[in-house]
Amino acid sequence: MKIIGISGWSGNGKTTLLERLIPSLMSKGYSVSTLKHAHHHFDIDKPGKDSFRHREAGATEVLISSSNRWALMHENRDGQEADMVSLIAQMTPVDILLVEGFKSENFPKIEVWREESDAPPLHLNDDTVVAVATDSDTLKTDLPLLDLNDEAAVAEFIIQKFMTRA
């Protein structure tokens, strides 16, 4: 499983790029999954529902299943956030795992950067960034520059860089 990060500061377009990149890679025959890091408290469950009540009662894990999907919710009752390697171990292997967030982890990343964000580019202090997807024509870097608005070009970069064997 090739693990590739889509990294950058909040508001630069990571999720928008992923929404377009996933079907582009899948149309080329690759299986794709995503792992998303949230910096804030989140809940995918709804108060009052059975699964919510099971968690509230103290269950460490609740798996809910239907004919359409299943979801496993694991409570970090000790307050320790799971590390990326542990989370990936819970996932079914695919060709490409796109990771949004986890920007301080050591794995190859494509940085999403917009000039109007006024945030400094991450690649200046992160040698795990292998390319920058941007809509800026003023960014100066030795890294490959990818058109943020051309998901097919980003997909082709990923295929050439990570999926082709020499």
What tens digit of pLDDT does each residue of 108-140 get?
Answer: 999 999 988 888 999 999 999 999 999 999 999
Per-residue pLDDT averaged across 100-106, rounded? 89
Tell me the pLDDT tens digit for each residue of 8-44: 998 899 999 999 999 999 999 999 999 988 766 666 7
> What pLDDT score does 66 carry?
85
Out of 3.40.605.10, 3.40.50.300, 3.30.70.3280, 3.30.70.260, which CATH number does the structure's domain 2-40+81-163 have?
3.40.50.300
What's the predicted TM-score (pTM) here? 0.88
Those residues whose C-beta lies under 8 Å from the C-beta of residue 101, and which sit 6 or more positions away, are 7, 36, 37, 38, 39
Tell me the pLDDT tens digit for each residue of 53-85: 888 888 887 888 889 888 888 877 777 888 899
SS3 content of the chain, % helix, strand, coil (to 5): 25, 25, 50
Counting residues of the chain whose pLDDT is more than 90, the rounded percentage is 60
145 SS3 class: strand
d(CA 77, CA 71): 18
Structure tokens given for 87: 């989370």
d(CA 28, CA 40): 34
> What pLDDT score does 42 carry?
62
Please report, for residues 20, 54, 147, the alpha-carbon distance to residue 156 in angstroms, rounded to integers and kept in the order given: 13, 44, 12
45-49, 97-101, 107-111: segment of lowest average pLDDT: 45-49
> Residue 166 above 60 pLDDT?
no
> What pLDDT score does 1 carry?
93
**Strand residues in 48-144 grouped as ranges (E):** 61-65, 70-74, 96-100, 109-113, 129-134
> What pLDDT score does 21 carry?
97
17 SS3 class: helix
